Chain A
């Protein structure tokens, strides 16, 4: 055991395998949770029939999706069409590697953890565009275009918002940022940190394709955006990666701004991390089921006119704070 933990390669492999399995299982039940919550928000029950409280609904869904025939449209680019779903889930899950779940539970304590996470998060636009292009469908193409435009634009304020905790903590390592927060208070507790956290969450909503920023998928306009032509397990993988991305983003928000695994009452740090992630995900879901969608140009305007200057300002303030502190 000590050998496994001390060897970085084996450590990464074991933790990665565990993390992916746990995350995928979690994602399945996160969909149940979201459907239940959406049901309650909309004054209906949500899934109730499969298993107690409909808990087995995600499994039923997955089995159904796997049984279905995966149809590739005649004029689609077969190779890219097949490639897009695995790429999406790979990029979505890769981000999880640097998330510190406690002092020891961490797949890879990278020195550039924040950069790594944001890079993979930004890369997610790429397989979506591949899917949109490969489908040879106009709705999918438009969706893919929107995804790229939105992904690239929102990457900028997102990175800058993440720069605030990085500047304050003086490290790019996720674990380092959490340890800084354990020592000198959560970043959300400072005004600049709170603003940056809000900004980060907003941009994360856009990156994660969630309402009010889900214009690439925009069911009412683009049918299903890049995933219009996908069905069966291909579509399920897209859906799963969207949820995985949401959950991981929630975890990143918790680590960067909410003190990560730090907590009170001697509860296990892992529990704190999971609770915080769940809380952020709850906010994201609640927002999703209560807001309408922006238009694509309004989305861009919001990003470039408000979020980017705002994020720049926050980085500046954080820098001044740090230099004053010495």
Chain B
């Protein structure tokens, strides 16, 4: 509990940093006698969280320059979405941020609704917000597990934390399965509302899952707040507020750098305007700060989920009728941008509709928070060792499905 309180209470501080790495360092001008080793970290590597590749230039074990390469998971999702009818886009987007699919669905459908001027019923809004918060818990738990694994290896304490986190995340997936019938790629949001209504007994299940997660969180924090963990994360991979803003970081990364910004509070959507969202901010900017902020967010999401599940109002779940044909939804020409707070930051959808094609988007652009996190790599890696690079990449938490789309 100590962590959460501390993280919320800390006033935003803008840290100053003496060493500013140059991501465009000309290696020819680097110390002439240095014997640099080029190491291609990824795309097949245990710790690149998917298929991310960073070319590292190492002086001994110290990174001099890091060049990230992405695109190994490019699937042409945006182009595909332009070919699909509005109602058919949702399941495709589940695969983008594959750690928090619920938020992808929500982001796109909110954009469609805004474009078409559809007002979502209150019950659906409550349910969407609740699902988003539950998904945030699951996503942060998965992050915590993989981050511990980056620090502790596949054959050690890190895996133990990983197993615990997955065990807890499983409870959330069970809850989702009970609601939607799917564990992961739900396809539960649609234009105008939600597809699956709350089954009987579901709120109790949610409460049980939340209680279990909260109690177990306390138990294994003992393991994580070990001196070794602090040694490995404190002062490692510091991103100051200015750099964070320039890189377009958002979500926990931005808040860990001391910028108090959260779309749930600053640009409320769903029913967040009815809730008092406590935003966790930490001025540290390092891996430890990012850890603290995410942990505080898990607790905050647990609190919000409990409030939401008890107060879901009765009423219709969707403003639109069940689909008869895929071309049912037609949008007038125009463009909208909707940004929501995904577990990784601002997940935006920018949509242009043209008069010629009323049933499909003319241009469908996703603003993935992970892309900006991955873009921080060349700024943060230099000056750190290879071991730190893995820890930093873990704490940045880029999801490659979302980066490459």
Q: Which residues of A contact B (CB under 8 A)?
A: 38, 41-44, 138-139, 142, 211-212, 214-215, 217-223, 288-298
Given contacts A295-B387, A295-B388, contact A220 B151 (CB under 8 A): yes
Q: Is the C-beta of B299 less than 8 angstroms from some C-beta in chain A?
A: no
- The answer to whether A290 and B47 touch across the interface, beta carbons within 8 angstroms, is no
| CB-nearest residue of chain B to A289 | B160
Once the chains are docked, how many angstroms separate the CA of A225 from the CA of B164?
26
CB distance from B62 to the nearest CB of A (A): 10
Given contacts A221-B386, A221-B387, A296-B387, contact A290 B160 (CB under 8 A): yes
Contact of B228 among A38, A218, A293 (CB under 8 A): A293
- The answer to whether B155 and A220 touch across the interface, beta carbons within 8 angstroms, is no
Cβ–Cβ < 8 Å partners of B163 in chain A? 42-44
Given contacts A44-B163, A218-B387, A297-B385, contact A211 B152 (CB under 8 A): yes
Chain B interface size, under 10 / 10 to 19 / 20 to 34 / 35 or more: 20 to 34
Q: Is the C-beta of B167 less than 8 angstroms from some C-beta in chain A?
A: yes
- The answer to whether B160 and A295 touch across the interface, beta carbons within 8 angstroms, is no
- The answer to whether B390 and A288 touch across the interface, beta carbons within 8 angstroms, is no
Given contacts A44-B163, A214-B153, contact A293 B158 (CB under 8 A): yes
Please classify the interface of chain B as helix (H, G, I), strand (E, B), loop, or mixed, using the class held by over half of its residues: helix
- The answer to whether A294 and B46 touch across the interface, beta carbons within 8 angstroms, is no
- The answer to whether A211 and B155 touch across the interface, beta carbons within 8 angstroms, is yes
- The answer to whether A295 and B232 touch across the interface, beta carbons within 8 angstroms, is yes
| CB-nearest residue of chain B to A211 | B156
Beta-carbon contacts under 8 Å, B154-187 to A? 154-160, 163-164, 167
Q: Is the C-beta of B150 less than 8 angstroms from some C-beta in chain A?
A: yes
Q: Is the C-beta of B223 less than 8 angstroms from some C-beta in chain A?
A: yes
Contact of A220 among B153, B157, B164, B226 (CB under 8 A): B153
CB distance from A289 to the nearest CB of B (A): 5
Q: Is the C-beta of B266 less than 8 angstroms from some C-beta in chain A?
A: no
Once the chains are docked, how many angstroms separate the CA of A155 from the CA of B76?
55
- The answer to whether A298 and B160 touch across the interface, beta carbons within 8 angstroms, is no
Once the chains are docked, how many angstroms separate the CA of A217 from the CA of B154?
10
- The answer to whether A296 and B46 touch across the interface, beta carbons within 8 angstroms, is no
Q: Is the C-beta of B39 less than 8 angstroms from some C-beta in chain A?
A: yes
| CB-nearest residue of chain B to A34 | B155
- The answer to whether A43 and B164 touch across the interface, beta carbons within 8 angstroms, is yes
Contact of B390 among A44, A220, A291 (CB under 8 A): A220
Q: Is the C-beta of B231 less than 8 angstroms from some C-beta in chain A?
A: yes
- The answer to whether B154 and A220 touch across the interface, beta carbons within 8 angstroms, is yes
Once the chains are docked, how many angstroms separate the CA of A139 from the CA of B44?
13
- The answer to whether B385 and A296 touch across the interface, beta carbons within 8 angstroms, is yes
- The answer to whether B228 and A212 touch across the interface, beta carbons within 8 angstroms, is yes
Once the chains are docked, how many angstroms separate the CA of A41 from the CA of B390?
25
- The answer to whether B153 and A211 touch across the interface, beta carbons within 8 angstroms, is yes
Beta-carbon contacts under 8 Å, B295-324 to A? none
Cβ–Cβ < 8 Å partners of A220 in chain B? 46-47, 149-154, 158, 390
Q: Is the C-beta of B61 less than 8 angstroms from some C-beta in chain A?
A: yes
Beta-carbon contacts under 8 Å, B347-395 to A? 385-390
Cβ–Cβ < 8 Å partners of A142 in chain B? 39, 61, 386
- The answer to whether B387 and A292 touch across the interface, beta carbons within 8 angstroms, is no
- Shortest Cβ-Cβ A-B pairs, 10 listed: A211-B156, A292-B152, A42-B163, A219-B154, A220-B47, A291-B157, A295-B387, A219-B153, A292-B151, A220-B150
Q: Which residues of B contact A (CB under 8 A)?
A: 37, 39, 45-47, 61, 148-160, 163-164, 167, 223, 226, 228-229, 231-232, 385-390
- The answer to whether B157 and A292 touch across the interface, beta carbons within 8 angstroms, is yes
Contact of B148 among A221, A223, A292 (CB under 8 A): A292
Q: Quick one: which of B156, B160, B228 has the most chain A CB within 10 A?
A: B156
| CB-nearest residue of chain B to A291 | B157
Given contacts A42-B163, A219-B155, A221-B47, contact A292 B226 (CB under 8 A): yes
Contact of B387 among A215, A289, A290 (CB under 8 A): A215
Cβ–Cβ < 8 Å partners of A294 in chain B? 228, 231-232
- The answer to whether B46 and A291 touch across the interface, beta carbons within 8 angstroms, is no
- The answer to whether B47 and A211 touch across the interface, beta carbons within 8 angstroms, is no
Cβ–Cβ < 8 Å partners of B229 in chain A? 292
Once the chains are docked, how many angstroms separate the CA of A223 from the CA of B167?
25
Cβ–Cβ < 8 Å partners of A43 in chain B? 163-164, 167
Cβ–Cβ < 8 Å partners of B167 in chain A? 43
| CB-nearest residue of chain B to A301 | B231
Cβ–Cβ < 8 Å partners of A215 in chain B? 387
CB distance from A161 to the nearest CB of B (A): 21
- The answer to whether A295 and B385 touch across the interface, beta carbons within 8 angstroms, is yes
Q: Quick one: which of B61, B229, B387 has the most chain A CB within 10 A?
A: B387
Cβ–Cβ < 8 Å partners of B153 in chain A? 211, 214, 217-220, 293
Once the chains are docked, how many angstroms separate the CA of A142 from the CA of B155?
19
Cβ–Cβ < 8 Å partners of B387 in chain A? 215, 218, 221, 293, 295-296
CB distance from A30 to the nearest CB of B (A): 14
Once the chains are docked, how many angstroms separate the CA of A142 from the CA of B39?
10
| CB-nearest residue of chain A to B37 | A138
CB distance from B167 to the nearest CB of A (A): 6
Cβ–Cβ < 8 Å partners of B155 in chain A? 211, 214, 219, 288
Cβ–Cβ < 8 Å partners of A212 in chain B? 156-157, 228
Once the chains are docked, how many angstroms separate the CA of A165 from the CA of B21?
51
CB distance from B177 to the nearest CB of A (A): 21
CB distance from A264 to the nearest CB of B (A): 35
Cβ–Cβ < 8 Å partners of B61 in chain A? 142, 296-297
- The answer to whether B386 and A289 touch across the interface, beta carbons within 8 angstroms, is no
